[in-house]
Chains A and B, each alone.
Chain A
Amino acid sequence: MITPFLLATLWVADGPPAGAPGGPPLALDCAKALVCAHRGAQVVDRARVVVRDGRIEAVGARQELAAPAGAVVEDLGALWLVPGFIDLHSHIGGDFGINDMVYQANPELRVSTAVVPENANLRRALAAGVTTILFIPGSGTNCGGQGILLKTAGATFDEMLVREPGSLKIAQADNPARWGYGMGRGMMNWTIREFCSRGRAYARAWAEFESGTGPQPERDLMFDVFRDLYAGRTQVSTHTQVYQVVYNTLRILRQELGLPTYIDHGEFDAFLLGELARELDVAGILGPRSISSQVKSRGVDHDGKIIGLAAGWQEHGLVEIGFNTDAPVVPAEELPLQAAMGVHYGFDDARLQALRGLTIVPARTAGIDDRVGSIEAGKDADLLAVRGDPVDPRTGIERAWVGGRVVHVSTQGGRTW
């Protein structure tokens, strides 16, 4: 365990600290690295993680991986290293001006204008190991606008930015019904079909122009995001829950419109669609609820059982299962607890699925697995040092790095979470 004194010397040394961009390489030795790679081994014992210029350069067993010349070697002793956590449904990236209900669908609105770096909620999220969030609009309309993928650390917007647009937020049922009097699911589904079809036509027209087979279309800010969507540069994060609604997510957005999308929430009895979601390559990012019980007004009845949602989706064939908080509905710092609750209520964690649901699964779902989600060479050095099972609420984060920089140390000024 590194002493605060040693840390201080690392920080005050001339030039950027080891591991950070421009600094010397950093070799982190630890008892165990839970690497969370999409395929292959999940655990490296007596591991060494080499960090250079903010990125992971190499990962391996200590005896097989030499520290590069000039590297600062830090022995973390009995601590483990795990990838930083990712929350794909968050509203705490800044202020709450993220639910402007102008039209029934507002694909042109962006939450990026609301980002407040280093706000109190972000600091606490960081102390809990949440290093990346998808900050998204509210669900007051069928399309609240564009979300943004952010690191939770960083003093400026540019330092935080991972990708914009982070997603297009579409909300299918329930909440957006508040936009207009008497709106039901039929009308809302029609609205979604209508604006997405127009968006698709717009994206096609631009694609034709770019390939030299069509005239230059007139720019329409409202539909620009569809060019990113149909080019696979971003996804639709769909606020959807309950069997009928999720069924229409899969049918309308995925099958009819061919949009890259994932299920956000996926609550109540929606897990019955696990197999169909897997066939259509649609992931489920579950939360803030983690159980489903009897809800008579929705016709949901589980014969008196309390069903764990993650367990339900898993049992029905879905593999790509992640967790969210919908922060502040569940506080951002309780993201790992969402995974723990999944396991409590029956989610099979035999292959680190709970931790993967906080790391590699959301990274792949949001298409940012080239940068985050696992401890693999080439990725951002977003790392957490923990004393044990990172999903256990008893396990605090001892240290956190984002982009190779130390951003949290539990021993400085007391543990903040």
Chain B
Amino acid sequence: MNSLLLLGAALLGSVMPSLVAQETSGSKSSDAKTADAKKDEAKKADPEPKWFAVVGGDVHTGTGGLLRGATVLAKDGVIESVGYSTDLPEGTEVLSARGLQVYPGLVAISASLAVSQGSRFLAEDDLHMRCCVDFGKNGHLHEGPLDAELDLLLADQAGLVDAQSDLRDAYDPFSSSLLMTLAVGITSAEQSGGALKLKRGEIDGVVMRERFLSSFTWTSASSGKTQLREKFAAAARYLREKREWDVRKDKVKDLPEPSKKGIEQKILSVLDGSARAKFNANDRDDLLGIARLAQEFGFRPVIEGCVEGWIVAEELGRAGAYAIVYPRQRRDKDENLVRAGGSSIENAAILHAHGVQVAIGPASNGIDLGGITGRDLLHLTVDADFAVRGGMTDAAALAGITTVPARILGIDHRVGTLEKGKDCDVIVTDGDVLHYETLVQYTVVAGKIAYDKQKELLFAHIRPRTPGDGKTSNSSGDSAPASAESQPPQR
């Protein structure tokens, strides 16, 4: 809603000079007014591009660069340039990030449906306290929680997943959970194997990709493994035969098309690259099995959990695996085994060191306002911190909540870094995004401010932003051509 207001302000701003001119000239004929109105109509018919710039912040591009005091300029929600001495076109909405840090919006993998559908605040603690602020779906604020309602929502969620219905239909752009998610800097989230852009107050363009991640069940039982391998083998055989048929069908008359019977479309999609296979596995033996399957059939698996991955990191790296790691996941070693086993806080770091692309997920993937903090979706950066504790670099951990999940979700051409041509999903923070004292000051989604800490009730009272830090303005066409004031740092 905020962004809508700002959008309104931006439009007003572009009309403003003519209004000012009217006042100074004292009176103006109705003809002139009609002319102005016509001009406005013309604008509506052929809208001018909307320019937006984040100016003066230290820009962490996510591509390895840190540009101090630089400008990110976006046109119609897409980044036009990142750098210095940027000329801002007339009417650019400017967000000053002077003294602040600028990062790509965070990408939450395994986000659950909590984000776009409101949330159930069910605190499972020693009080058995049940509080529920917002079911979100219809924008209703429910008073006391009823088990029946909770069950209803769960059924709804299950229905959504099973029926694979359109994510767009289920998206509530006014949900309180969405606001909270934006308030912690998350601008893209996985949902049902697809990816949502967390737009506030609008639905158009929220679905970036649907059903890209395809879940496979890996069973430890040998019969299950054999079966899955046979299915992959059949699909691979079909693809080979189909390719051959495609080549030969024009030359050979009545060449029979290979039969698709018994071939799983899901596997075909994985093998032809239009979907990505995701397994949930933790045991060393299962991880090795998945790595072998992937190498045999030439696809890059996504392995969620991957608790014992650190033991077989080399094999997973060779298989080109992606891992979704929950750094704090704990599992004791099976003392009956001589080999290494169990969880390790070093898991993410070791996997990363062996070339596995590591995405970091939250300890619990919902939104919990029951009071216990530091482990839900709202504290994704804390889990990145624990990956660093285990030996990852800050940069790799940050990639684990930006670029890598973007790659896993197949949206890395649009989000995850700040580069020309990518979506202008930017967060502005008051410090190192991985530091525990840091709060997100602004969240920008597709070139629009979707969250401003000082304008929302949630966190405005915590270390209020000093006036002058970060403010929005419109560059006016009346003055000299606007230029971002940003300069490279003085040495």
Footprint of B on A, CB under 8 Å? 120, 124, 139, 174-175, 267-268, 288-298, 303-309, 311, 326, 329-331, 334, 337-338, 340-341, 343-346, 349, 391-396, 414-417
A393→B436 contact, CB < 8 A: yes
A303→B436 contact, CB < 8 A: no
A415→B391 contact, CB < 8 A: yes
A-B contact pairs, 28 of them (CB 8 A): A120-B332, A139-B126, A267-B371, A288-B125, A289-B125, A289-B372, A290-B374, A291-B369, A291-B373, A306-B369, A308-B462, A309-B371, A311-B462, A326-B126, A329-B126, A329-B372, A330-B372, A334-B374, A341-B436, A343-B437, A346-B462, A391-B436, A392-B385, A393-B382, A394-B389, A395-B389, A396-B390, A415-B345
- A349 to B437 alpha-carbon distance, docked (Å): 10
A396→B130 contact, CB < 8 A: no
Give the contacts of B410-443 with A (CB-CB under 8 A): 434-439
A297→B126 contact, CB < 8 A: no
- Which secondary structure dominates chain B's binding surface? loop
B126→A341 contact, CB < 8 A: no
- If A291-B373, A292-B371, A414-B346 are given as contacts, then 14 extra A-B residue pairs at C-beta distance below 8 Å, sorted by A number, are A139-B126, A289-B125, A294-B131, A295-B129, A297-B129, A297-B144, A305-B458, A305-B459, A306-B458, A329-B125, A329-B372, A394-B388, A415-B389, A415-B391
Other-chain contact of B457, A288, A290, A305, A343 (Cβ < 8 Å): A305
Other-chain contact of A293, B127, B346, B369 (Cβ < 8 Å): B369
Footprint of A on B, CB under 8 Å? 125-127, 129-131, 133, 143-144, 328, 330, 332, 344-346, 369-374, 379, 382, 385-386, 388-391, 394, 434-439, 457-463
- A158 to B469 alpha-carbon distance, docked (Å): 57
Rounded to whole Å, the gap between the CB of B232 and the closest CB of chain A is 35
Given contact pairs A290-B374, A293-B371, A297-B144, A303 touches B332 in the complex (Cβ within 8 A) = no
- A50 to B110 alpha-carbon distance, docked (Å): 50
Instruction: Name the residue of chain A whose CB is nearest to the CB of B310.
Output: A414
- Closest 4 CB pairs between A and B? A289-B371, A304-B457, A340-B436, A393-B385
B345→A416 contact, CB < 8 A: yes
Instruction: Name the residue of chain A whose CB is nearest to the CB of B130.
Output: A297
B459→A306 contact, CB < 8 A: yes
- A391 to B382 alpha-carbon distance, docked (Å): 12
Given contact pairs A306-B458, A392-B385, A293 touches B133 in the complex (Cβ within 8 A) = yes
Q: Which residues of B contact A340 (CB under 8 A)?
A: 374, 382, 436
Q: Which residues of A contact B391 (CB under 8 A)?
A: 415
- A267 to B126 alpha-carbon distance, docked (Å): 12
Q: Which residues of B contact A326 (CB under 8 A)?
A: 126
Q: Which residues of B contact A120 (CB under 8 A)?
A: 332
A291→B371 contact, CB < 8 A: yes
B390→A415 contact, CB < 8 A: yes
Given contact pairs A294-B131, A305-B458, A346-B461, A341 touches B374 in the complex (Cβ within 8 A) = yes
B436→A289 contact, CB < 8 A: no
B437→A175 contact, CB < 8 A: no
- A175 to B128 alpha-carbon distance, docked (Å): 8
A394→B369 contact, CB < 8 A: no
Q: Which residues of A contact B390 (CB under 8 A)?
A: 396, 415
Q: Which residues of A contact B389 (CB under 8 A)?
A: 393-396, 415, 417
Which of B130, B332, B461 has most A Cβ within 10 Å?
Answer: B461
- A417 to B391 alpha-carbon distance, docked (Å): 11
- A396 to B390 alpha-carbon distance, docked (Å): 8
- A296 to B121 alpha-carbon distance, docked (Å): 12
Rounded to whole Å, the gap between the CB of B198 and the closest CB of chain A is 19
Other-chain contact of A303, B143, B457, B462 (Cβ < 8 Å): B457
Instruction: Name the residue of chain B whose CB is nearest to the CB of A339.
Output: B436
- A394 to B386 alpha-carbon distance, docked (Å): 6
Q: Which residues of B contact A175 (CB under 8 A)?
A: 126-127
Instruction: Name the residue of chain B whose CB is nearest to the CB of A171.
Output: B126
Rounded to whole Å, the gap between the CB of A117 and the closest CB of chain B is 17
- A296 to B129 alpha-carbon distance, docked (Å): 11
Rounded to whole Å, the gap between the CB of B329 and the closest CB of chain A is 11
Other-chain contact of B373, A303, A341, A394, A417 (Cβ < 8 Å): A341
Instruction: Name the residue of chain A whose CB is nearest to the CB of B462.
Output: A346
- A361 to B218 alpha-carbon distance, docked (Å): 50
- A169 to B345 alpha-carbon distance, docked (Å): 34
Given contact pairs A289-B372, A308-B462, A417-B345, A394 touches B434 in the complex (Cβ within 8 A) = yes
B144→A296 contact, CB < 8 A: yes
Instruction: Name the residue of chain B whose CB is nearest to the CB of A294.
Output: B133
Rounded to whole Å, the gap between the CB of A310 and the closest CB of chain B is 11
Instruction: Name the residue of chain A whose CB is nearest to the CB of B327.
Output: A393
Which of A139, A296, A416 has most B Cβ within 10 Å?
Answer: A296
- A267 to B125 alpha-carbon distance, docked (Å): 13
Instruction: Name the residue of chain A whose CB is nearest to the CB of B397.
Output: A394
Rounded to whole Å, the gap between the CB of A60 and the closest CB of chain B is 30
Other-chain contact of A345, B346, B434, B435, B462 (Cβ < 8 Å): B462
A344→B369 contact, CB < 8 A: no
Q: Which residues of A contact B439 (CB under 8 A)?
A: 344
Rounded to whole Å, the gap between the CB of A145 and the closest CB of chain B is 17
